[in-house]
A and B are shown apart, each in its own frame.
Chain A
Amino acid sequence: MEDIAHPETPGSDPAEGEAVLERRGLDRLIAVLRHDGYRVIGPTLDDNAIVLRELESGDRLPDGWGVTTAPGLYRVHRRDDAAVFGHSSGPQSWKQYLHPPRRQLWSTDGDGDFETPPDEEVAYAFLGVRGCDLAAIRVLRKVLCEGTPADGRTAALFSRLFIVAVDCTEPGGVCFCASMGTGPGAHGEYDLRLTERLGDGGPRYLVDVGTSRGADVLARVPHGTAASEEVERAAQAVCAAAEHMGRHMPDVDLRELLRTARDAEVWDDVASRCLTCGNCTMVCPTCFCTTVEDVTDLSGTHAERWQRWASCFEPEYSHLHGGDVRESGQSRYRQWISHKLGTWYDQFGSSGCVGCGRCIDWCPVGIDITEEAARLTGALPTIGPDPTEGSG
């Protein structure tokens, strides 16, 4: 049932002569991917944040930019080095490409057939997918593609996806990937995995090949061979990052804890702070809820159905028989955290949370999901350790 693996030493067995790229190798990597027909999505500085955009070239990467994150706080700042990936999760996640905020489901005229929009056959290459986000992509694939009959367009997006993952060596201010078993090293399914190393000559990127598709791309990017000590030091840096996380999810059986807490009084506390604004659901890389909307043209004969992102914090989300089942803010916060940390296991076989910390960052009142989980533990002390987690 558990599909988030334990954090392991990234890079597994360092291949004899692991590849290494210089900074210009990243530019070349982007060019090769674009040549192969991918739309390369990666981080860039825009609007005072590190956001995800389509990258025409490596010039747009956020060299030397870092971020300061804390509950309810996100600020970019200049680093004193030229790191390209020296920043933690921004306000967006990769889900906006795999599970678009708006898309048309069908259109119809009169009593005619229902037409679906054609598959535009977009192939994305994601550059800079951290461990937390790699886990999130895996979680989304499970939800959107592996349940009841999969929607062809979404399944195709996932199958065409090229992933260049990135290890983290600096925990961000709100990150807790280590305690969720998703980082700081990126592990799982990727085509290439980079570990950024900063030295006097500028940043270098150790490359681990994950698939033959990745090997094929790497072969066309000029690269050197890393010394085994360099590989070893990189692995140690990632391990060290795991020891310096700023926060962690309590090591308890969260599924059982949340199930037991349903009727408890504990929710009044967070309810007094939560604005039910829904920011957390928008920035969360695994929140997937949608709502459908029907529209017509003025003549009323052409109708379309559109699907848009929805949030369980919307009052009308649970609309039924003239009212909303979850009317209070309390019940809606309980729903969000219980689903994310608890019932997701029942429905999809894993936790819905990957420890990226975005919800903590982007909550206007700074509600911290790890703190709320700890508060529940304090209020209900009888719940034991998580049986699905291994040691560490």
Chain B
Amino acid sequence: MNHPASEPNPRLAGLDPEHLQTLLGLSRLVQFAAGEHVFREGDLARRLWLVQDGRVMLHTYVPGRGDVPIQTLGAGDVLGWSWLTAPHRWHFTATALSEARAREIDAAILHESSSADPAFGYAVVRALSGALVDRLQATRARLLDLYGEPDSIPRQTNPAAR
């Protein structure tokens, strides 16, 4: 569903204003109701979103555990990466936790515009890579289990120690 843009557009860190305008020009504003799926695991992945406001939860189904939340995303986050690589199918399911608005970009249109204007394409890929790196580093930080009880975390012998 489209609504006129009434909120400030989302930024994409590292993307200069001119290219951001171009990217937003390729996008359309969409809205999700609380509980509505943005995408489902296994479906073809053809879009990405820049979340403008609200919260979206990424989750997957684990037999015996039910729907396990993986990550929540909010204003300023990039949602949806599976369009980048084969088999171009969503890894997880994304569901809006609250009413949420986002700028939706069609991956095919993005590919087309990038081929036509490689400078734009390169700038967008760099900015998207930055967002991906931040997400990866934060995810790795969670793997460290930093808040866990010190004695319960298995110690790894430091290969550099004597």
Contact = CB atoms under 8 A, between A and B. Distances in A.
**A/B: CB atoms within 8 Å of each other:** yes
A329 B162 contact: yes
Interface residues of B, number: 8
B150 interface: yes
A327 B151 contact: no
B1 interface: no
A268 to B, nearest CB: 10
Q: Is the interface of B mostly helix, strand, loop or mixed?
A: loop
Nearest to A320: B150
B155 interface: yes
A390 interface: no
Nearest to A271: B162
A116 B151 CA distance: 36
Interface string B132-162: 0000000000000000001101010010111
B150 A328 contact: no
A132 to B, nearest CB: 32
B158 A328 contact: yes
A325 to B, nearest CB: 11
A327 B156 CA distance: 12
Nearest to B152: A322
Contacts of B161: 327-328
Interface string A323-337: 100011110000000
A323 B158 CA distance: 12
A322 B150 contact: yes
Contacts of B162: 271, 328-330
Point out which of B155, B160, B161, B162 has the most chain A C-beta atoms below 10 A from its C-beta.
B162
Contacts of A271: 162
Contacts of A322: 150-151, 153, 155
A322 to B, nearest CB: 4
Interface in A311-364: 321-323, 327-330
B146 to A, nearest CB: 10
A328 B151 contact: no
Contacts of A329: 162
A321 B150 contact: yes
Interface string B17-51: 00000000000000000000000000000000000
Nearest to A332: B162
Nearest to B151: A322
A328 B160 contact: yes
A54 to B, nearest CB: 41
B150 A327 contact: no
Interface string B82-108: 000000000000000000000000000
B152 to A, nearest CB: 9
Contacts of B153: 322
Contacts of A323: 150, 155
Contacts of B160: 328
A327 B157 CA distance: 10
A321 B162 CA distance: 20
A322 B153 CA distance: 10
Contacts of B151: 322
A330 B151 CA distance: 25
A329 B151 CA distance: 23
A323 B157 CA distance: 11
Interface string A64-105: 000000000000000000000000000000000000000000
Interface of A: 271, 321-323, 327-330
Interface of B: 150-151, 153, 155, 158, 160-162
A-B interface, 4 closest residue pairs, ranked by CB to CB distance from nearest: A322-B150, A328-B161, A321-B150, A329-B162
Given A271-B162, A322-B153, A330-B162, 13 more contacts: A321-B150, A322-B150, A322-B151, A322-B155, A323-B150, A323-B155, A327-B158, A327-B161, A328-B158, A328-B160, A328-B161, A328-B162, A329-B162
16 contacts: A271-B162, A321-B150, A322-B150, A322-B151, A322-B153, A322-B155, A323-B150, A323-B155, A327-B158, A327-B161, A328-B158, A328-B160, A328-B161, A328-B162, A329-B162, A330-B162
